[in-house]
Amino acid sequence: MKRTTPLRAAIAALLLTVGLGAAAANAAPPPEPAPKASASAGLLDAMRQDLGLTAAQAEERLRTEKTAAEVEKAAERSAGAAYGGSWFDPAAGRLVVAVTDRAEEAEVRALGADTRLVRHSAAALDRAKARLDGLRAPEGVAGWHVDPKSNSVVVDVVRAQRQTPAVRAFVDRARAGGPVTVAETAEAPRTYAAGTVGGDPYYTGNVRCSIGFSVHGGFVTAGHCGGAGAAVRGWDGSAMGTFQGSSFPGDDYAYVSIHSGWWTVPVVLGWGTVPDQLVRGSAEAPVGASICRSGSTTRWHCGTVLAKNQTVNYSQGAVHQMTKTSVCAEGGDSGGSFLSGDQAQGVTSGGWGNCSSGGETWFQPVNEILARYGLRLHTA
């Protein structure tokens, strides 16, 4: 990006840390340092505000969530075909792993996870969801996703339209294809693009969206913000870049290459609400983990991961492999960053509600975008 004071400060802080480390090598051994904070004070404050945690509780949660993310991969490998999915339990501070075979429980527990015996494997649930992905959903169906806690595919329907013939027929067809439960949502999801207004966004035509994450050569964002070949203007109205790839619906992601005069940094803006956040990787957080979002309209807000691999039924068409969160968002936040600690998670797609009354928001996982376009995340 072009120079901005917050970004310069973030980069300067990185350089200062390196300089101090070099100087310390020639000095007397320092006293035992205090435990390093797992996140900035601003991020901890945002978690306090949106999740009702103290700073100490937020620190502990980030620590246990990081451990759970590491255990999740090992548990899936260990359980093999008996793996039924997993989720983070905030009350216990541990990962819970569902298994279909009691014989696998001891080995999974040895990895540091709790277990729950279930009927359906994750692979079976994924197949049931894939059958739903082949159906055309009516307007009153908000989406569907695999839910490891209920060991089923959850179909979300708009409360006011649950009893309409079209919705009831869809639910009946869904139940015929596998283990399905039905949940209600207050509103149908919508994308979060917005008309041109002031702020620090990027623009395509008369649409304002938010930058997701810097990659080497540009940034990733939401696909509904612009099509391949569309020109992008920066926050100051100057030429910034071009959409090199974009997919929506079906997916909701895009890659924008940037012009000279702009550059990338491993930073997500705090918009003055919290300090700018450094991005150090893209390790995927489990269901139940805390997560925070940055966008050019509503700035910083936090919540939890509610579901993964959800199909969201927008009015423009269904989008697959989305992650559902309890974080609010509003128009103009589309494309913005979802972070768990210092790990990139995805780019804001859409949702329902707002940041006054609350709501839910979905994001497209960032690792899928990186793989699709062969991109490398810019990390600190």
Catalytic residue IDs: 224, 252, 334
- What is the rounded CA–CA span in Å between residue 380 and residue 366? 17
Neighbouring C-beta atoms of residue 255, cutoff 10 Å = 26
Are 316 and 249 within 8 A, CB to CB? yes
Omega before residue 189 within 30° of 0, cis: no
136-140 long-range contacts, CB within 8 A, separation 24+: 137/170, 137/313, 137/318, 138/164, 138/166, 138/167, 138/169, 138/170, 139/166, 139/188, 139/313, 139/315, 140/164, 140/166, 140/167, 140/188
How, if at all, do strands 94-99 and 83-89 pair? Answer: antiparallel
In SS3 terms, 106-134 reads as HHHHHCCCEEEECCCCHHHHHHHHHHHHC
Torsion on CA atoms 9, 61, 288, 360, rounded to nearest 10 = -40
Those residues whose C-beta lies under 8 Å from the C-beta of residue 83, and which sit 6 or more positions away, are 75, 76, 97, 98, 99, 121, 122, 123
Are 154 and 145 within 8 A, CB to CB? yes
Q: Name the residue among 183, 189, 173 with its Cα closest to residue 133.
A: 173
Backbone angles phi, psi at 319, to 5 degrees: -120, 135
